[in-house]
Amino acid sequence: MKHITCIEDLRQVHKRKVPKAFFDYADRGSYSEDTLRANVDDLQQIKFRQRILVDVSKRDLSTTILGEPAALPLILAPVGLTGMQYGDGEIHACRAAQAAGIPYTLSTMSICSIEDVAANVDKPFWFQLYVMKDRGFIKALIERAIAAKCSALVLTVDLQVIGQRHADIKNGMTVPPEWSLSKLVDFATKPAWVAGVLRGKRRTFGNLVGHLKGTDDITALGTWIATQFDTTLNWKDVEWIRSIWPGKLILKGILDVEDAEEAAKTGAQALVVSNHGGRQLDGAPSSIEVLPEVVDAVGSRIEILFDGGIRSGQDVMRALALGAKSCMIGRAYIHGLGAYGGPGVAKALDIIRNELSVTMGLCGVNTIAEIDDHVLAI
Ligand SMILES: Cc1cc2nc3c(=O)[nH]c(=O)nc-3n(C[C@H](O)[C@H](O)[C@H](O)COP(=O)(O)O)c2cc1C
Ligand SMILES: CC(C)CC(=O)C(=O)O
């Protein structure tokens, strides 16, 4: 992997190795993809203030996330179908995160189940919850996360209705998948990927199969999922979740100050400023555009996490400078996973760690706590 020097390099290998339907599912966004692009572009427009002749020999990237020590201000974001990018992808990603000393978040819509991951990693991980209409299933899922000793629950609040991703429709990324000659040819040219996924523990939504009486019939699952995202979801449901989940709670998918104010009243320990990586409300502001106003409004009352568009350590520095306590990354690690499995995730984290360390050095900063808007040229 010596020739891999940045996240874009991992993206190119991911694109080559993984069937187009799954690569596009990870890479693309909703509708015109304006918000997807804005996430990346708005971050890159933020300029740093170079400082010289400061002793930066003792740079330390460690921090705390929700009161727990972390080696970096980073968290692996929940990503649905991770195990279709690489066989047992959730387990590989979680192990890489734990080796790097940062939290991993398992999606409700993962391929490996909560139990699969818990049985194959050393430490607790975070679990992300989609609240579905079947509240009995949700309660059981929370109980499974408690039994697996998950150390935080990430409640995603920006997916009551699903933003259309044109690429997924064109690629037949449905449950069950649509097959075409070109898709079969594409799979046939990726035998290493096929073999890896076939060796994996599962090829369907691991957390959902048990619920449907053990069936992994993909058509039955597809029908169930299609009816399950709950448009009635509201703040009362957050109270209900709070009452049955005893641990740390994080609300993910907040862009608006009024919503952030409500979130701060729920008893949640953190919120994630996020537009779901430009996959939901197309035309929403980039995450970085709204971060400062959310931090101003509620940053003293609730921990502010950030995601959307992070592709480098420089981007992490930009988000921290504008008030985020830590950042989640989605595509940046998924590109590493699709490219090389667990070592690819470790490589993505190495790249971002080194970029952040160099950026801190060139801005004259030694610790994460020192990073604020003084490092920016504004
Ligand atoms: C392929 C993919 C699947 C995702 N699945 C989920 C999910 O299951 N649950 C969730 O809360 N967010 C999901 N997200 C959103 C991420 O958690 C995160 O908010 C987003 O990826 C951040 O943007 P970035 O990819 O630019 O870092 C997904 C994102 C991607 C790219
Ligand atoms: C299965 C999807 C609902 C997972 C998701 O959140 C996404 O693709 O953005």
Would you name the residues annotated as active-site residues?
Answer: 276
Which one is predicted more confidently, 71 or 211? Answer: 71
Ligand nearest to the CA of 107: 1
Q: pTM of this prediction?
A: 0.97
The residue to mutate among 109, 279, 335, having the most atoms of ligand 1 within 8 angstroms of its beta carbon, is 279
How much is the pLDDT for 221?
79
- Token pair listed for 283: 């035309």
pLDDT more than 90, % of the chain: 91
Express each pLDDT in 224-244 by its tens digit: 888 888 999 999 999 999 999
How much is the pLDDT for 212?
67
- Token pair listed for 233: 């979801």
- Token pair listed for 259: 């919503």
285 lines ligand 1 (CB under 6 A): no
Among 42-46, 99-103, 173-177, 184-188, the least confident range: 173-177
Name residue 340's amino acid: Y
Whether residue 353 is predicted with pLDDT greater than 80 in this model: the reply is yes
How much is the pLDDT for 215?
58
The mean per-residue pLDDT over the stretch 64-90 comes to 98
The mean per-residue pLDDT over the stretch 271-288 comes to 98
Tell me the pLDDT band of 314, cut-offs 50, 70 and 90: very high
Whether residue 214 is predicted with pLDDT greater than 80 in this model: the reply is no
Please check if 25 is assigned to a binding site: yes
Whether residue 216 is predicted with pLDDT greater than 70 in this model: the reply is no
Q: CA 266 → CA 50, 204, 235, 262, distances in Å?
A: 40, 34, 8, 7
Instruction: Give dist(CA 202, CA 88) in Å, integer.
Output: 8
Instruction: Give dist(CA 368, CA 357) in Å, integer.
Output: 10
Tell me the pLDDT band of 57, cut-offs 50, 70 and 90: very high
39 lines ligand 1 (CB under 6 A): yes
Report yes or no for ipTM above 0.95.
yes
Whether residue 213 is predicted with pLDDT greater than 80 in this model: the reply is no
- Token pair listed for 334: 């998924």
80 lines ligand 1 (CB under 6 A): yes
Express each pLDDT in 135-174 by its tens digit: 999 999 999 999 999 999 999 999 999 999 999 999 998 8
Q: CA 245 → CA 66, 77, 141, 155, 212, distances in Å?
A: 16, 20, 11, 11, 23
80 lines ligand 2 (CB under 6 A): yes
Tell me the pLDDT band of 223, cut-offs 50, 70 and 90: confident
Tell me the pLDDT band of 272, cut-offs 50, 70 and 90: very high
Express each pLDDT in 15-39 by its tens digit: 999 999 999 999 999 999 999 999 9
Q: What is the chain's mean pLDDT, rounded?
A: 96
